[in-house]
């Protein structure tokens, strides 16, 4: 098991956090707009395989692609940079995976940046 400090120093951890959030945002968009992945691919002008990769987390995003996907689902990508020391200050708990750790809540969720008018 990794300690919190070890985990947050791994780029793979942060990539997975971002991939998971993109999955959540795209899934919510598809549901809210009653769209299939195929329809979403058509809307984006990309292949069905591309959307499939995004949904499986098998896609290593460039910053431009992250922005394009965010805008496509009607969201603004907001990135919060925090000092690692601030993240590891809480308790130095052991974590077995990013999914089970509370550490992935270090940045404010994207929902906090919504405007009131939707």
Query: What CATH number does residue 60 fall under?
Result: 1.10.260.40
The token duo for 11 is: 């780029």
pLDDT 10s digits, 6-61: 888 888 888 888 888 899 999 999 999 999 999 999 999 999 999 999 888 887 77
Is residue 83 scored above 70 in pLDDT? yes
Structural domain of 49: 2-113
Residue 7 maps to a domain: yes
Residue 118 maps to a domain: no
Beta carbons of 94 and 2 less than 8 angstroms apart: yes
* Model confidence, pTM: 0.67
Residue 27 maps to a domain: yes
Mean pLDDT value of segment 66-84: 88
Per the DSSP assignment, residues forming a β-bridge with 94 are 3
Residue 69 maps to a domain: yes
pLDDT band at 102 (very low <50, low <70, confident <90, very high): very low
CA dihedral 102, 16, 83, 92 (to 10 degrees): 40
């Amino acid at each position: 098991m990794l300690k919190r400090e070890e985990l947050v120093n791994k780029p793979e951890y942060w990539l997975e956090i971002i991939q998971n959030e993109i999955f959540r945002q795209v899934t919510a968009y598809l549901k809210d707009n009653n769209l299939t992945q195929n329809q979403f691919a058509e809307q984006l002008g990309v292949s069905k395989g591309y959307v499939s990769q995004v949904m499986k987390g098998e896609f290593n995003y460039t910053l431009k692609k992250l922005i394009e996907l965010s805008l496509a689902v009607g969201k603004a990508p907001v990135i919060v940079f925090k000092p690692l020391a601030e993240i590891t200050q809480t308790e130095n708990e052991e974590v077995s995976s990013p999914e089970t750790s509370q550490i992935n809540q270090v940045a404010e969720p994207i929902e906090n940046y919504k405007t009131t008018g939707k």
